[in-house]
A and B are shown apart, each in its own frame.
Chain A
Amino acid sequence: MPFFSEVFSSEIIKKPVLDPVGEELGRVKDIMIVKGDPLPRISALIIEKKNKLFNLQWTDLNIFNKRIISSRVYIDNLQPYEFEEDDLLIVRDILDKQIVDANGAKVVRVNDIKLEGYNDNAVLIAVDVGMRGILRRLGVERGGEDFMRLFKRHLSYNLISWNYIQPLHPKLSEIALTVPRQMVSELHPADLAAIISQVSHKEGATFFKDLDVETAAEALSELEPDQQAAIITGMDTEQAADIIEEMPPDEAADIISDLPAEKAQEILGSLEKEDAEDIQELMGHEEDTAGGIMTNEYIAYSPEMTVKEASDRFKVNAKEVETVYYIYILDKDEKLIGVTSLRELLLAEPDCSLADIMETNLKTVPPGEDEMVVAEIISKYNLLALPVVDENGYMHGVVTVDDIIDVLLPPAAKRKRRRV
C-alpha cells in the first residue's frame, strides 16, 4: 500500500479504522513497529473493538493518513492480539519515555512520534520532544499556534531524528540516548556526569556500565556522593575496584567512605595493596579538613639528587600522579624541607642539586586544618598545591587547587539539588 504523506502518531491513535464497506473495524490502540532498513517501520496496527484487541497487518491496509485509515479485510479475518513483552509498541514502549539529549546534556520526554512514507512503508522518522508535541497530544496544536501568534512568536518544531536515537535497551522503557553509544565515551566526563545525575539511579548505572574504565573514573568523581555510592554499590566488586584504582586516591577515599562498610571492605580487599593503603590512610581524616581533601600522590625527591636525575625520574613518576607542578624535597627522615616548581627544574642547570634550587620558605598546613583556611592560603599565595605537614614535619599529602575549587564552587552534577 502506498503511503507518501507524513503523520504524527498522535493523529493516528484512537482513530477509527474502517473495513471495505465503511463499517468501523475498531479504533487504533497502539502501533507495532519492527526493525527495518534504514529506519524502523510499522508492521501492524493494534486495534480495539469492544475491549478486544486485534492485530491488523500493515499489508492489509489500503488507506493510511491522518484523516482516513481503512483496511481491505473484515473483522472476521483479523487475528486477536495479546500484549507481548517482545513486541515493540509505540504507545507502550516509546511515547512519554525519557531520552537523553546529549546535545546540551539534558533529559527530555518523547511527546510525539513522526512517521513518514518510505518505499510503501511508514517508517519512524523522528521523535517530537517540544511544546508542539505536547499541544498536539492535548489536541490544541492549532490553538497554541494562534496563541503564540498573538505575541508575534512562532511555535517551533523540536524534533530529534530517529537516526540519532540509540536505545540502551531494545525498548525505551529505560533511557535512550541521542548519540550513538560509541560516541558516549567521547563526551567530556563532566557532561556525562551531568547526564547521569539527571536520570534515575538505576538508569545511571546502566549508562555507566558501557563506559571504559578511565572515562568511568573521571565521570564518577564529578557526581554527588549519594549517586557515587549507589553506582559503585550496584557494580560487581571487580569492576568497581578497577574504576576506583583509576581515580586519584583522595577521590577514591571519599567514595569508599560513603559506601556500606561491607562493600567498602570488599573493594579495598581487591585493590592493589599499595592503592588500598593510600586510600585507607586518607579515609582516617575528617571530611572537611586539609587531611580530608588532600591526595597522597605527589612527587618527592631527596635534596642530594641532581636536576638531571630528578628530570629523568620525573618522566617516570609523573605518569601516575595527578598534580606534578611542584616537586617536594624530603630529607632522610621523610621530613619536608623544601619545594621546587616544575619550571625551576626545567630551567636549572642539569648538574646542580635539588638542594641548591629549592625554596625553603614553605607554606604548609596541618592535616586537621579547616578546608576554608586551606582555600584562603592557596588563594593568598597563588599556589597550585599546598603540602599537608604534621607537627613533626612529616609530609602527609598535598591539597591541590582543583580540590579547593570544588569546595568553593561544586560542579553542577554535585550541586544538583534534590527536591528539598
Chain B
Amino acid sequence: MTRWKRFLIFLSVMGPGIITANIDNDASGITTYSVAGARFGYALLWTLIPTTVALVVIQEMIARMGVVTGKGLSDLIRENYGVKAAFFMMLGLLIANFGNTVANLAGWAASMEILGMSKYIMVPIGAISIWILVTKGSYRFVEKILLFACLLYFGYVISGFMAKPDWTPVLKSTLIPRIKWDSEYVMLSIAIIGTTITPWMQFYLQSSIAEKGIKKEHYKASRLDVIIGCFITDIISFFIIVTCGTLLFPQGIRIHEASEAALALKPLAGDYAYLIFSMSLANASLLGAIIVPLATAYYICEAMGWEAGVNKTFKEAPQFMWIYTMTIALASFVIMIPGAPLVFLMVLSAVINGLLLPFVLVYALLLVNDKKLMGEYTNPKSYNYISWGTIVTIIVLTTFLIITTFVPLNG
C-alpha cells in the first residue's frame, strides 16, 4: 500500500463534519482564542462547553437536512423562500466572506512576516498558488493537501502540552462557569461563540454532506461524524486558550492578533512553540483562504442557477469564475495596500456575519421542520425547544455584539 493510498483511506473515513470543523478554526477564530487566553487566562474556557452544545445542536440539524433532502442550504432557501431571500442572503454571504478571506490572507501575511518573509512577496505567492491549486489541480490532489492541512491543526494540541499547564485549574475553569461583568470579558465570550458558529459553515456542511450522497440509512454515521467534528473544533480552541493562558496571561502580555501570540511565545516557550504557533496560523489561514472563496462562489451560483465548477473557463461559468477570482484578488490587494483599513473590514465582516446568522439559523430551523421536505425526519417536539432556545440565545448574543461594536460598553 502506497503512502498516498493510506492517506486516501484515512480521508474517506474522515467525513464532512470533521473537515468543516477544522476549517471553522480559521484565522479569525485562532485570533479570538489567542486573545482570550492571553487576556483572561483560563477564565473563558468554560464558554467552550455551551458553545460546543450549541454547535452540535445546529450542525446536527444541518447535517440531517443535507442527508434527507440531498440538497444544499442555498438551494433549499432559493426553492422554498424565493429569489429575493436567496439573493440578499447570498449578497450578505459574499460581503461577509470577502471579509473572511481578507482576515485569512491577513493571517497568512502576518505569520509569514514573523517568520521573516515580506508580505509583499508572500501574499501574491499565496493567492496565486491557491488560485492555481483550485482551478488547475485535480480533486484528489486538493483533497490530499486539505487533509494534510487538517492534520497540522494538531500542532496546537502539542503546543498546549508543551506549555506545561497546571491541569487542575485548567479543568476547574472549563467545568465551572464564571461570569465577570467586565465589558471585555463579555465581548470575548460572545466573540468565541460568534467565531465558532458562522453562517457560511452551515452552507458548507450541508452542501458537502449532500454532495457526498449520504443515505438516510447511514444518517447515524453522519451524525457521529458531525458530533466528533464539533468536539474537535472546540478541543483545538481549548488548547489555543490553554497555551496562551499558561504562558502569556501570567506575564500580563496583551495581544490583539494571533501572530503577536506567536511572537510573544518565543522568549517564553522557545523556538518550537513559536514555530508551531506561526506555522499553524499560516496553515489555518491558507486553508480558510482556499475554502471560503470557493465555497462562496459555489453557493451563490447554485442559488442563482448559474453554471459552477472550477474546471470551467471564464466563458463557460463567468459568474462563478469571477466571484472566485475577484474575491481572492481583491482580498490580496487590500492587504498589500499600506495602511489599509484591515480592522474596519474585519469588524464589518463580523457585523455582517452577525446580521446574517439569525436569518440562516431561522431559515434552517423552518426548513428542518418542513414535513414536505423532511418527512419523518423533522425535529421531535422536545428537540425543537432546545433548537429554538439555542438559536434565540445566539441571536441575542450576536445582536448584543453588533450593538456594542457601534456603541462600546463602558467598563
By a beta-carbon cutoff of 8 Å, the part of chain A in contact with chain B is 91, 95-98, 106-111, 129, 134, 137-138, 200-203, 226-227, 229-230, 233, 286-288, 410, 412, 415-420
The answer on a CB contact under 8 Å between B305 and A200 is no
Is B71 located at the chain interface by the 8 A CB criterion?
yes
Contact of B79 among A96, A111, A203 (CB under 8 A): A96
Q: How far is the CA of A106 from the CA of B308 in the complex (A)?
A: 9
A226, A229, A419, A420: the one within 8 Å of B143 (CB): A420
A394 to chain B, nearest CB (A): 24
Contact B311 A417 (CB under 8 A): yes
Q: Report if B70 contacts A (CB, 8 A).
A: yes
A420 touches B215 (CB 8 A): no
Question: Which of B70, B86, B142, B213 has the largest number of chain A CB atoms within 10 A?
Answer: B213
In the complex, which of the residues B78, B210, B295 contacts A96, with contact meaning CB atoms closer than 8 Å?
B78
By the criterion CB–CB under 8 Å, are B310 and A417 in contact? yes
CA distance A308 to B84 in the complex (A): 73
Chain B interface helix/strand/loop/mixed: helix
Chain B residues within an 8 Å CB radius of A111: 83, 305
Q: Are B207 and A137 in contact (CB under 8 A)?
A: no
Q: What's the nearest-Cβ distance from chain B to residue A260, in Å?
A: 9
Separation in Å of the B310 CB from the closest CB of chain A? Answer: 5
**A419 in complex: contacting residue of B138, B207, B304, B305, CB < 8 Å:** B207
CA–CA, A419 to B204, complex, Å?
8
B139 interface residue (CB < 8 Å to A): yes
Contact B210 A134 (CB under 8 A): no
Contacts of A202 in B (CB 8 A): 70
Enumerate the 3 nearest inter-chain pairs by beta-carbon distance, A residue then B residue, closest first. Answer: A109-B305, A201-B213, A200-B70
Nearest A residue to B19 by beta-carbon distance?
Answer: A420
Report whether A420 and B307 are in contact in the complex, using a CB–CB cutoff of 8 Å. no
Q: Taking A110-B305, A415-B139, A416-B139 as given, write out 18 further A-B residue pairs in contact, using a Cβ cutoff of 8 Å, ordered by the A residue number.
A: A91-B82, A95-B82, A96-B83, A111-B83, A111-B305, A138-B87, A200-B210, A201-B70, A286-B5, A410-B138, A416-B309, A417-B142, A417-B311, A418-B211, A419-B207, A419-B208, A420-B143, A420-B290
Q: How far is the CA of A137 from the CA of B75 in the complex (A)?
A: 17
Distance in Å: Cβ of A98 to nearest Cβ of chain B: 7
Within 8 A of A (CB), among B273-302: 290-291, 294-295, 298-299
Q: How far is the CA of A110 from the CA of B304 in the complex (A)?
A: 9
B131 CB, min distance to chain A CBs, angstroms:
14
CB distance from A159 to the nearest CB of B (A): 14
- Closest chain-B Cβ to A276's Cβ sits at a distance in Å of 25
> In the complex the two chains form, is A138's CB within 8 Å of B84's CB?
yes
> What residues of chain A lie closer than 8 Å to B70, measured between beta carbons?
200-203
Q: Does B361 contact A (CB under 8 A)?
A: no
**Bound CA–CA A110/B75 (angstroms):** 12
Q: Mark B327-345, 1 if CB is under 8 A from A, else 0.
A: 0000000000000000000
- Write 16 A-B pairs (CB below 8 A) sorted by A numbering: A96-B83, A96-B86, A109-B304, A111-B305, A134-B304, A138-B87, A201-B213, A202-B70, A233-B215, A286-B1, A287-B5, A415-B138, A415-B139, A418-B208, A420-B143, A420-B146
Q: Which residue of B lies closest to A418 (CB)?
A: B211
Query: Which of B183-219 touch A at CB < 8 Å?
Result: 204, 207-208, 210-213, 215
Assess whether A106 is in contact with B307, with CB atoms less than 8 Å apart. Answer: yes
Flag if A418 contacts B83 (CB, 8 Å): no
Question: CA–CA, A201 to B207, complex, Å?
Answer: 12
Q: Complex Cα distance A107/B302, Å?
A: 9
Q: Tell me the bound Cα distance from A410 to B311 in angstroms.
A: 11
Which residues does chain A contribute within 8 Å of B82, judged by CB atoms?
91, 95-96, 137
Q: Is B2 an interface residue (CB 8 A)?
A: yes
Contacts of A230 in B (CB 8 A): 213, 215
A279 to chain B, nearest CB (A): 21
Contact A419 B295 (CB under 8 A): yes
* With A98-B305, A286-B1, A288-B2: A419-B139 Cβ-Cβ less than 8 Å: no
- Residues on the A chain within 8 Å of B87, using CB: 134, 138
Q: Which residues of A contact B69 (CB under 8 A)?
A: 200
The docked-state distance in angstroms from the alpha carbon of A91 to that of B78 is: 12
A226 to B84, CA, bound (A): 34
Structural contact, A420 and B305, CB atoms closer than 8 A: no
In the complex, residue of chain A having the shortest beta-carbon distance to the beta carbon of B82: A96
Kindly list chain B residues whose C-beta atoms are within 8 Å of the C-beta of A108: 305-306
Residues of B within 8 A of A227 (CB): 213
Q: Are B309 and A97 in contact (CB under 8 A)?
A: no
Q: Are B83 and A417 interface neighbours, CB within 8 A? A: no
Asked if A129 contacts B142 (CB within 8 A), the reply is no
Determine the residue in chain A with the shortest Cβ distance to B297: A419
Knowing A109-B304, A200-B70, A201-B213 are in contact, say whether A419-B83 is a contact too (CB < 8 A).
no
Say yes or no: B212 contacts A418, CB within 8 Å.
yes
CA distance A420 to B83 in the complex (A): 26
A17→B69 CA distance, assembly (Å): 36
Cβ-closest chain B residue relative to A287: B5
Docked complex Cα distance between A304 and B362 (Å): 78
* In the complex, chain A residues whose CB is within 8 Å of the CB of B143: 420
B84 partner residues in chain A, CB cutoff 8 A: 137-138
What CA separation (Å) do A415 and B212 show in the bound complex? Answer: 14
**In the complex, are the beta carbons of A412 and B204 less than 8 A apart?**
no
**CA A201 to CA B69, docked complex, whole Å:** 10
CA distance A96 to B302 in the complex (A): 11
Question: Given A201-B70, A417-B310 in contact, is the A109-B204 Cβ separation under 8 Å?
Answer: no
Q: How far is the CA of A288 from the CA of B3 in the complex (A)?
A: 12
A306 to chain B minimum Cβ distance, whole angstroms, is 46
Known interface pairs A96-B79, A416-B309; A200-B71 also in contact (CB < 8 Å): yes
Inter-chain contacts of A109 with B (CB < 8 A): 78, 304-305
In the assembly, what is the distance between CA of A182 and CA of B134, in Å?
38
- Give B137's nearest chain A residue, CB to CB: A417
Alpha-carbon distance A417/B324, docked complex (angstroms):
14
For residues 205 through 240 of chain B, which have their beta carbon under 8 Å from a beta carbon of chain A? Answer: 207-208, 210-213, 215
Q: Is A419 touching B294 in the complex (CB atoms < 8 A)?
A: yes
C-alpha spacing A97/B79, complex, angstroms: 6
Q: Is the CB of A138 within 8 A of B83?
A: yes
Highest count of chain B CB atoms <10 Å: which of A97, A202, A288: A202
Minimum C-beta distance from A190 to chain B (A): 15
- Bound-state CA distance A412–B307 (Å) is 14
Asked if B2 contacts A418 (CB within 8 A), the reply is no
Q: Chain B contacts of A203 at CB under 8 A?
A: 70
